Structure 1
Amino acid sequence: MKRKLQSITSKLTSASGILGIVIVWQFCCSMGWIPKFMLPSPADIIKALVTDFPALMQHSGITLLEAFLGLSLGVTVGVAAAVLMDRFPSVYKAFYPLLILTQTIPTVAIAPVLVIWMGYGIAPKVTAIVIVTFFPMAIGLLDGFRSADQDAVRLLSSMGAKRKQIFRYIKFPGAMGQFFASLKICASYSIVGAVIAEWLGGNSGLGVYMTRVRKSYAYDKMFAIIVLISVISLLLMKGVELLRRRCMPWETRE
């Protein structure tokens, strides 16, 4: 009961802080201290959300589809890379520098090249999402594998356990926490990566719609899209947290 009260108090404190910022923001806009073309008021943003809700939902479906496909492929590639680098030291030495190199190239810089290679369809968007999501998964999971209890590993080795058994019973369960932590990061990156890729071309998606409203100087609609993107990212991260609790119930009991 005490823990629940602490959780409720913490959430109320966070909510009150956000509410205070919104109130001050609305007051400054209402007094005319901030021009609307620079920063729309929260009331204008909410009005734009309500007015453009059908269009926003239509474009959100495309962005979510791209994010889901890219996230699935990125997580799969990241897990495979982590397993291979943990299993074979030569693979780690050969590919780890390449993993680092892929993260030195901004997504905004590589997205136009993907569009040239793959056109304006869904393929370049999914590829961009894979690029930004597989790295956190690969590095996080690899760190989880390498932080396994070495005493337990030596114990199983002395009992004749093979590498597959050590991986199955020691390394993989011990890396579950890092896996879900990386998945939470990847989930938020997938939405951002999809929107950035959509900026450079396409027929639908939140990034395409944002570009259209920006060119028409409808900044209230643009901020409404930003709010929607933030809400979607938070919901995805919350979904990952719920999945983690379901897959790791012992943490909740502790």
Structure 2
Amino acid sequence: MKSLMKKGWRPVLVLLLLFFLWETASRIFEIPAWLLPAPSQIWKVGVAEWPSYQHHLFATIRLTLIGFSIGTLVGIVVASCLHLLPLVREACYPLIVLSQNIPIIVLAPLLVIWFGFGMLPKIIIITLVCFFPIVIAALDGFRQTDSDLMHYMKMAGASRAQLFKKLEWPHALPSVFSGLKISATYSVMGAVIAEWLGASEGIGVYMTLASSSFRTDRVFVAIFLIMILSLLFFACIHLLEKKVVKWKPEEN
């Protein structure tokens, strides 16, 4: 964590440099605000209009947390079942991979037709986006369990349940958290896509209204809010990983 904080100034410096170049180019070439607003203008709009979009932000956060929680639970349960039941894994693993080849933007209208405009189709969309990285990462973690330790525990008379609980699951935790961090960023995107389809509030709704009224500055405010949410969500999962997986060596 300390090494991460020490290196954190580098991406911040690059980001500040990009904003500086963006601001300079907007002023020198006099780019119209409706085409590409300057970062300073986006900041002013974001601060000034906070009361008008804060409820959209909180709605997206709530939807993201619910969908991510369900997606995480489904992903871990599916991965555990596929690992413990090899025949089921052989039969269902290709179907899980194929399910990710269906574009969410195409599947989403069908979910609205089947389940209406309530919360359920939105949660299903986020769950579909989140569970796949968790399933794949967890299965990889289970497969990478130390074979010598596995042999030793079998020689000691450990049952299949004990092997899974005491050895395979703890060994897979770093991989599971890798999948969680990927899903955390995907969940925000999934929530925004779900909100495009007929929600009454959320960052996706705010972005749609801003785009239809040609308020490009508000569109960029929504984009930056989505990016910040994704980064904060990723950071929370990273901190949780440091608390739970204490035996994992610190990254250089």
1:49 to 2:46 alignment: yes
Deviation track 1:11-39 (CA, whole Å, cap 9, x = no partner) reads 22222111111011001111235332221
Paired amino acid for 2:95: L
- The residue aligned with 1:168 is 165
1:223/1:140 CA distance change after superposition, 3 Å: same
**8 A contact 2:71–2:128 mirrored in 1:** yes
Q: Secondary structure at the match of 1:249?
A: coil
Moved more, 31-40 or 18-27: 31-40
- Aligned match of 2:102: 105
TM norm structure 1: 0.94
User: Which residue of the other structure, out of 67, 91, 101, is the alignment partner of 1:70?
Assistant: 67
Checking the alignment, whether the CA contact within 8 Å between 2:174 and 2:248 is kept in structure 1 is: no
Give CA deviations for 1:60-85 in whole Å, capped at 9, x if unaligned.
11111111111111111111111111
**1:52 is aligned with what amino acid?**
E
> Structure 1 residues 169 and 134, CA, compared in 2 at 3 Å: closer, same or farther?
same
Cα distance in 2 for partners of 1:106, 1:253 equals 37
Give the aligned partner of residue 187 of structure 2.
190
Deviation per CA, 1:170-226: give whole Å up to 9, x if none.
101100101111111111111100001111211111101110110000000010010
Whether the aligned pair in 2 keeps the contact of 1:56 and 1:225 (CA below 8 Å) is no
Q: Report the equivalent of 1:139.
A: 136
Residue 23 in structure 1 maps to residue 20 in structure 2: yes
1:157 aligns with 2:154: yes
TM (norm. structure 2) is 0.95
Match of 1:224, as an amino acid? V
Report % sequence identity.
38
- Describe the superposition over 1:70-104 as per-residue Cα deviations: whole angstroms up to 9, x where unpaired: 11111111111111111111110121111111100
Q: Verify the 8 A CA contact 1:133 1:190 in the aligned structure 2.
A: yes
Give 1:58's aligned amino acid.
H
**What's the counterpart of residue 117 of structure 1?**
114
Displacement of 1:7: 5.0
**Deviation at 1:56?**
2.3
* Runs of at least 5 residues in structure 1 that lack an aligned partner in the other structure: none
Amino acid at match of 1:69: I
Q: Count residues in correspondence.
A: 251
Shift of 1:252: 5.8
- 1:111–1:197 CA contact under 8 A, matched in 2: yes
The Cα offsets for residues 125-176 of structure 1, whole Å up to 9 and x where unpaired, read as 1110000101111111011011100111111111111011111111011001
For 2:4 and 2:242, the matched residues in 1 are separated by: 16
Asked whether the equivalents of residues 46 and 221 of structure 2 are also in contact (C-alpha less than 8 Å), the reply is: yes
SS at match of 1:160: coil
Shift of 1:54: 1.9
Does the aligned pair in 2 maintain the 1:86–1:142 contact within 8 Å?
yes
- Is the 8 Å Cα contact of residues 245 and 252 (structure 1) preserved in structure 2? no
Q: Work out whether residues 71 and 186 of structure 1, in 8 Å CA contact, stay in contact via their aligned partners in 2.
A: yes
The aligned amino acid for 1:64 is: I
Contact 1:45 1:220 in 2 (8 A): yes
